[in-house]
Amino acid sequence: MDRMDQKIVAILRRDGALTGVELGERVGLSASAAHRRVKAMEAEGLIRGYRVRFSPQALGMPSTLFVSVTLTDQRQETLERFEAALKRCEQVVEAHLMGGEIDYNVKLAIPADDSYERVHRDVLAVLPGVERLRSQISIRAVVEQA
């Protein structure tokens, strides 16, 4: 991770579909040198993979829900069971163990053909160790994944 790698990271963060040729031109290396650095970062785990950004239409116009979760206690076993259950929920897009009052902050994508009520009843209320849930609905995404 030298200065050149950081330069490549900065460029690739903005556009993930750059060719080795263009990347090389932008950082001042040959195509193969630039490409080899990218492959090295992949091998080291600095680059975890590549993703396609889909429009909400392509994904069935899901709406976004944020749920603050308080568990019954903070015992390691309670956390582990809750996290394992979370990971199995396909509606869960992102989840964080939090500091402060709330234990978990969970982001869900709810398909257009599904209801918030059903997800609350069948997905969230079923999670093990939950004491309190506080849900907030996103009306509109203002900024997305810089």
DSSP string over 105-121:
EEEEEE-TTS-HHHIII
Q: Does 35 bind DNA (CB under 7 A)?
A: yes
Rounded Cα–Cα distance for residues 16 and 42 (Å): 13
127 and 103 in contact (C-beta within 8 Å)? no
Q: Which of 10, 21, 61, 137 binds DNA (CB under 7 A)?
A: 21
Per the structure block, which two tokens stand in for 93?
């897009």
User: Which listed range, 20-28, 70-78, 105-113, 119-127, lies at the site for a second copy (CB under 8 A)?
Assistant: 105-113
Angstrom distances, CA of residue 123 to CA of 17, 32, 92 = 36, 48, 10
User: Which listed range, 16-24, 56-64, 91-99, 106-114, lies at the site for DNA (CB under 7 A)?
Assistant: 16-24
In the complex, the smallest distance separating the C-beta of residue 18 from DNA, rounded to whole angstroms, is 7
In the complex, the smallest distance separating the C-beta of residue 118 from a second copy, rounded to whole angstroms, is 18
Per the structure block, which two tokens stand in for 141?
């995404």
Q: Does 54 bind a second copy (CB under 8 A)?
A: yes
- Binding site residues, DNA, CB under 7 A: 2, 4, 19-22, 24, 28-33, 35-37, 39
